[in-house]
Each structure stands twice: as C-alpha cells, then as structure tokens.
Amino acid sequence: MKRILLFSVFILSSSLTGFCTIWTIKNSGFTFSPATIVITVGDTVNFVISSSHDAREVSQTTWNASGNTALPGGFQTPLGGGIILPAQLGVGTHYYVCTPHASLGMKGTIIVQNITGVEEKDQINANILVYPNPSKGQFQFSFNESQIIKDAKMEICNSQGELIYKSAILKPNSLIDLGNRPEGVYFIRIYCGQTILTKRIVIK
C-alpha cells in the first residue's frame, strides 16, 4: 500500500510541475549525500534516508550553529525521509539539518536557481542538439557558437542528482565520453548567464 501511495505521489508531482528533475539525497551514516545540490525552480527533491534521520529546514544562523529549530514555513520530512515538492523550494539557498543529529553536523543545503528569459531559453534550447541519444556513452553537441554566451558552462548529473561531469567551457562539436558510466538516464545542464538549459540523455 505504501509503494502504491508513493508511486501516486510521484505521478501527481510530475503532473503538477511538468518536466522537472527529481534529485535524490541519501545518507551515509551521519552525513547527507550529496550534502549540497544545485537545482532549478520546478525540480523535486527526494530524501531517501534511514529511519533514524529526517530533514528539517532551518535558518542559516541555526544551520551555522548546528541547531535544529525549524524555520517557520520551511519544509520537513518525517523520519525515513520523503519528497519535497517544488512549491516548498523557492529561489535561494535552503538550509536543512537532521533534527536528531544536527549537533553532530548532519546538515546540507539545497540551492535553487531561477530560470529567466523563457522565450530566449526555448529558442537556444531548440538549437542545441545532443546526439546520438540514446548512445553507448558518447555524445556530441551541435550548435552555432553565436547562439549561446561564450562563457557557457556545462554539468552532467545522474538520476540521483550527483554531479558526474563538469566543464568550464562549452564549444561547438564538443564530444563527451561517458562510456564508463552505467546505463540509465542523465541530465545535462548548460548555464548561459542567467539561463539554464536542461537536456535529458540516455546511456544504453
């Protein structure tokens, strides 16, 4: 019954937010992993943690002091984790701790970035091709250099939101080799000034 309910929540969240990335935060002992993630407005965060841990949003002051006083209006999961929907993740930095273990330094941050210039974003996104997709791990970018800002940066994350590749420069006809990565879905994020582009790729 719990599995059916959880699946229903995933479907509901997807229908409410449209296309978004679901980021997974786990725990390794008394540490959140990854401890810091950078997401986009509309993304969802799923805490998959053991039954002795929760995630409570706190103020930066409380976070710095390793306290656990809840931030009014902030998010909180029950013990064992849960899903934080986009409505609870406004633009900015969200500081959170594990309530029972904050004093041990079990804490993390979720940085939410805004997407501006929707029409410009859609135009640029349509002109940047990533191919072949799916592939065995090798992907190539095709675009006109004038279509994006020269200082564009790129990151690739797996479906758990873990950063696996980062490049400070993105050039036309760049070749990315992820052949050593397991099969599955990955997300490419291209940062062009204030615009963030997302591409979904599949390794099979």
**What is the average pLDDT across 154-177?**
80
- Where exactly does CATH 2.60.40.3080 map onto the chain? 118-203
List, for residues 175-191, the tens digit of each pLDDT value: 889 999 999 888 888 87
Q: What is the pLDDT of residue 172?
A: 73
CATH code for residues 13-113: 2.60.40.420
The tens digit of pLDDT for each residue in 45-91 reads 999 999 999 999 999 999 999 999 999 999 999 999 999 988 899 88
For CATH 2.60.40.420, the residue range(s) in the chain are 13-113
What's the order of all strands across the beta sheet hosting 163-167? 163-167, 153-158, 184-192, 195-203
Q: What number does CATH give the domain 118-203?
A: 2.60.40.3080
SS3 for the chain is CHHHHHHHHHHHHHHHHCCCCEEEEEECCCCEECCEEEEECCCEEEEECCCCCCCEEECHHHHHCCCCCCCCCCCECCCCEEEECHHHCCCEEEEEECHHHHHHCCEEEEEEECCCCHHHHHHHHHHCEEECCCECCEEEEECCHHHCCCCCEEEEEECCCCEEEEECCCCCCCEEECCCCCCEEEEEEEEECCEEEEEEEEEC
Q: Reply yes or no on whether the pLDDT at 149 is more than 70.
A: no
Query: Residue holding tokens 């062009």?
Result: 192
